[in-house]
Amino acid sequence: MSVTTRQFDRRLARPKIGSVPLTIITAVFILASANWTFWEKSAAYLHGQPAALAFLVVGIACGYVALFLAFSVKFVIKPALIFFVVVSALGAWFMDHYGVIIDVEMLQSAVDTTNAEAGHFLNIPFVVHMITCALIPSAIIAWPRIVHRPYLQKLKWNLAVIVPALLVLGVAALINASTYMSLIREHRDWFGTLNPLAPIVNTVKLAIRETKDNNIIVKPLGQDAHVVGPAAGTRKPRVTIVIAGETARAESFSLGGYGPDTNPELARQDITYFSDTSSCGTITSVSLPCMFSQFTRKEYTHQKGIENENLVDVLTHAGINVEWWDNNTGDKGVAARIKSQQLFKSDDPKFCKGGECLDAIFLDRLDAWLDSVKTDSVLVMHQLGSHGPAYYLRYPDEFRRFTPDCRTAEFATCSREEIINAYDNSILYTDHLLSTVIDRLKSRETQISPSMIYMSDHGESTGEFGLYLHGAPYIVAPSQQTHVPYVLWLGKDEKAQIDGACLQSEAVKKQSHDNLFHTVLGMMHVETSVHDNDLDTLAPCRSGTS
């Protein structure tokens, strides 16, 4: 048998299908298999309104058929349908398993993540899910031969389906417009879980934003900044260590009343804990640049964050030595103009494994840095902290105090108690880091005037309301993701200028990331037009002496 004959026989063996039936089958499959989160929310939000729910199901199904059929062109339809299936399967995994919403900032975080961090999500259940919900359906789409009519006939037949489908969608939307719109305003997370439309639309938005970002020229800030008081040579150098925490939530800090003792070492230190502190965002790519910017959360935008200098730049303008040490996934542009070290790229076997390092790597380098200080200095440490889902990799074995703890990044194999125990152990380890930094600073008070300030960038969900990890849109985010710990330690020199009773009264007042920029400037005695006393945590309690 000739090659041509065998190829002809194989073509005859392949089933045939029209583009319209294939499109309808694919649309129904995606809506049924990759939108569990969306339909669960729909059923909950439309509880007691069966007609509105039925119209929603029919309307969205018709909308998907119309959308997918728009790609019904020879050599285009199969790749397009396979693309929709794969994107839907990916989105469904993270939405259904972790309760996340794939918005622009979540996608930005995915772009910024390291290979090691991404690897925690690539587990066997994920691979099985992708084979079942993406690979096999894609093969089924690719296998049959699509019967294409001549172009004009195809256009006519496609429009004969698309137009009625869009009409049904429109009627379904109009009949229940007031119901749907009021619920969308109340539940901003609802349509953010519609697969694959939400991930695709937000990917396009991110691409547009990234294109705009490439043309940004950074505006200078606080060029009038200067240190007030005695000249540097006539006093000890002021040193502030700013620790940008990662994924630590206030609700798991025993300093704030949490049951398990997650802060035994800090509790023995002379620190101030601000119990009512809120974050600027629920994801690092938002919170980190926001907390170092001069803008409040209400004022901050991604655009403002990248087109303006920030706290570390203003400190530099004041003549202060500023350095950034990063053990996370990068500084998000905050440290673009100062000296920085990416410790997470270290291959030091004492602290690092698989492309990630324990936060003890900071302590290993801290003594040498402190001993080298000759002038006013600020060191920023950006932690890996409690970043999930692999909480168990964030602390060494000697900090496995809360057991049994989840020893995998796949939450489905652990009980909620085990997940919380692992997370609490990571908080316990952060407690040790902060307390050790304080001890190192205290031991050098004869050479320097030290202080330490710690704020976490955002919190974390550990199963509350069915949510895990972080990144929920701020407007609907639970307190577990927005209520963050804020710890302040002042050395003897700085503390002598602060009214202790006043500081304790401030500790119970509402604080936020809005305060970091101005508080650090105050701690370093920097005077500048961009310093706002109203947002300086210590300003109400400062004696006025320098």
CA separation for the pair 202, 195 (Å, rounded): 11
Residue-wise pLDDT tens digits, 289-322: 999 999 999 999 999 999 999 999 999 999 999 9
Residue-wise pLDDT tens digits, 378-408: 999 999 999 999 999 999 999 999 999 999 9
Q: How confident is the model at residue 154 (pLDDT cuts 50, 70, 90)?
A: confident
Q: How confident is the model at residue 546 (pLDDT cuts 50, 70, 90)?
A: very low
Q: Kindly provide the residue ranges of all beta strands, DSSP E only, lying in 354-408, ordered along the sequence.
A: 356-357, 377-382
Instruction: Please compute the mean of the pLDDT values over residues 215-232 and round it to a whole number.
Output: 90
Give residue 545's pLDDT: 47
CA separation for the pair 168, 244 (Å, rounded): 51
Q: Which helix (H) or strand (E) holds 451?
A: strand 449-456
Q: Is the pLDDT of residue 520 over 70?
A: yes
Output 148 or 7, whichever has higher pLDDT. Answer: 148
Give residue 99's pLDDT: 82
Give residue 209's pLDDT: 87
Q: How confident is the model at residue 5 (pLDDT cuts 50, 70, 90)?
A: very low
Across the chain, mean pLDDT equals: 92
| Token reading at 282 | 């629920």
DSSP output for 85-100: HHHHHHHHHHHHHH--
Residue-wise pLDDT tens digits, 323-373: 999 999 899 999 999 999 999 888 889 999 888 999 999 999 999 999 999
**In the chain, pLDDT over 90 holds for what percent of residues?**
74
Phi-psi region of 465 (alpha: psi -120 to 50; beta: other; left: phi over 0): left
Q: How confident is the model at residue 186 (pLDDT cuts 50, 70, 90)?
A: confident
Q: Is the pLDDT of residue 544 over 70?
A: no
Residues 349-370: b if buried by 16+ CB within 10 A, e if exposed: eebbeeebbbbbbbbebbeebb
Residues in the chain, overall count: 546
CA separation for the pair 412, 190 (Å, rounded): 24
In the DSSP assignment, the letter for residue 266 is G
Give residue 385's pLDDT: 96
Q: How confident is the model at residue 431 (pLDDT cuts 50, 70, 90)?
A: very high
Q: Is the pLDDT of residue 523 over 50?
A: yes
Q: How far is CA 295 from CA 33, 263, 288, 299, 483, in A?
A: 42, 31, 12, 6, 19
Residue-wise pLDDT tens digits, 432-454: 999 999 999 999 999 999 999 99
Give residue 197's pLDDT: 92
The residues facing 468 across adjacent strands are 462
In the DSSP assignment, the letter for residue 226 is E
Amino acid in the structure at residue 190: W
Domains and CATH numbers, the chain: 3-212 (no CATH), 238-540 (3.40.720.10)
Q: How confident is the model at residue 264 (pLDDT cuts 50, 70, 90)?
A: very high
Q: How confident is the model at residue 100 (pLDDT cuts 50, 70, 90)?
A: confident
